[in-house]
Structure 1
């Protein structure tokens, strides 16, 4: 059974077809009636609805799911810890802190300023997290993400405090949780900024994999360890900040998807990147469809669906790894 499951997971064509079919079905979900045949018969109502709302939402979901999954995979590779991700290393909390600063100084409509400040803050926060890891003498697999979560909670509390004191609490709620219901044409294109960095991650995948084996091992192979790690953190910071600014924070994807892929595909970053992106996009798309149909015509926040499903899967992965540790 394990061999059959492994074979299915390796079949990228199968999952790609499944993703395409799920994407087509996702286009048909919504309060307003939409007919796919209207796209071929040049029905103006269906074409406008698809171009303005349905396609932008679908693209943003696919790009967000793939991006966050790859971000988690990169962080897990660099830190050599399967429980590290943008949500457990405090990267998302630092991005939200950056968004608050941008809103405070540049106003709520300055999206590009939000992106720049969120990127700077998330990069600095990730650097702080990595520096803390360097000073830790005891790096238990569970202690490392707990340190990141504690740091993230501190930054989140600071963000909430200033948002409340400066009467920004309503603005904060709009980007505190992931939400695709407001994604329309002209409000999601910022996500495209992360795509070139995904390509860079694939190009430098082998070097990132070597960097995850330690500084001394990297230097013995002629790899500039600090430069490669910094590149990985920049990639993660750019992707995380674009997602937070565009659709808000979405947790768990960066943890569970890379872990599931690594079980069946292995830890080689170059081999795992494509299937991780595919699974991340598919997972977020399915969660979005669940949130849209479960109490139709109303919609449940994507963050809530991902948190419920992701927490269950995370616990399964946690107990599985605990069982492996006890038997090893």
Structure 2
């Protein structure tokens, strides 16, 4: 990636950040912040939390997808196609049924545990698939995640919690305000841990035998990667819901431009993921202004188009 491209990405980040602060149904202007205390309160209580939530969610899901792809050595998987996000939703549902008064942090912990279990079962099954058929793994992941999602829907239907399930499965930021997004700061720590262990994750992507031959503690690194993916998925599902394609298309785009060295690509995967989700959120606010389209719907269309472009385009490396 050239210096010009990096400067353009930073400039685009600033522009989209300011756009996100300025766009919405409520009357608000950045130029009135100094002279209007209510505008400042509205910025701090609503617009800024929503913008940060979109950036944190996109960055975290992109990193989770990157790590998951390194774990299974397959470019076509992400948390929503490996049963991770659906397992996290199942964890929240079970906590809502049996411990409805539990704090949101406890529900997030339960979602993380279920996401960890669901992802581990996916890995145990996926490693038995023939490596010469790379498309079998995402197909298996879609079916596997669909079964877990159908289980969540069935339980919700039986217990009259379908409306709650809609919140967890359809990602959107309209309800994000100060006091309802702070858990997403935990994703910043997960991204930092991923960058700190980037060299080990890069070796992990070479496979078990090669990793052990190079002196890597394969099992411990795999466990750490599982925890990062599970916690990130649980945090995003608890706060904003499931958003598809982010962890699939962003790591592929960045790797085509910069290669597979995670030490160099993790910051750009996080930045591009945050910008992609923030851009889809802005687009969802503008398409039917003053009404909104959920970011998961917009991301589904944009992500599908990007995925098709990746499938049929010619790879280029910087």
TM-score by length of 2: 0.96
Q: CA deviation at 1:84?
A: 1.1
Partner of 2:228: 235
Q: Tell me which of 1, 11, 14 is aligned to 2:8.
A: 14
Q: CA deviation at 1:138?
A: 4.5
Greater mean deviation of Cα atoms: 178-187 or 13-22: 13-22
Partner of 1:198: 191
- Asked if structure 2 preserves the Cα contact closer than 8 Å seen for 1:106 and 1:113, the reply is no
Give distance in 1, aligned partners of 2:10 and 2:99: 41
- Asked if structure 2 preserves the Cα contact closer than 8 Å seen for 1:123 and 1:234, the reply is yes
Partner of 1:151: 144
1:37-52 equivalent positions in 2, closer than 5 A: 37-41=31-35, 43-52=36-45
Give distance in 2, aligned partners of 1:120 and 1:139: 32
Q: Tell me which of 277, 280, 283 is aligned to 2:273.
A: 280
Q: Does 1:24 align with 2:23?
A: no
Q: CA deviation at 1:93?
A: 0.8
Q: CA deviation at 1:295?
A: 1.1
- Asked if structure 2 preserves the Cα contact closer than 8 Å seen for 1:77 and 1:269, the reply is no
Give distance in 2, aligned partners of 1:311 and 1:123: 27
Q: What is the aligned length?
A: 316
1:1-328 equivalent positions in 2, closer than 5 A: 6-7=1-2, 11-41=5-35, 43-107=36-100, 110-138=103-131, 140-320=133-313
- Asked if structure 1 preserves the Cα contact closer than 8 Å seen for 2:60 and 2:190, the reply is no
Q: Deviations over 1:76-121 (max 9, x none)?
A: 1121111011011111111111111111112176311220111000
Give distance in 1, aligned partners of 2:241 and 2:271: 21
Give distance in 2, aligned partners of 1:279 and 1:87: 19
Q: Deviations over 1:151-204 (max 9, x none)?
A: 110101111001000111111112110010000110000111121121111011
Give distance in 1, aligned partners of 2:90 and 2:217: 31
Give distance in 2, aligned partners of 1:227 and 1:139: 27
RMSD: 1.6
Greater mean deviation of Cα atoms: 252-261 or 104-113: 104-113
Give distance in 2, aligned partners of 1:224 and 1:133: 21
The runs of 5 or more residues in structure 2 that have no matched partner are none
TM-score by length of 1: 0.93
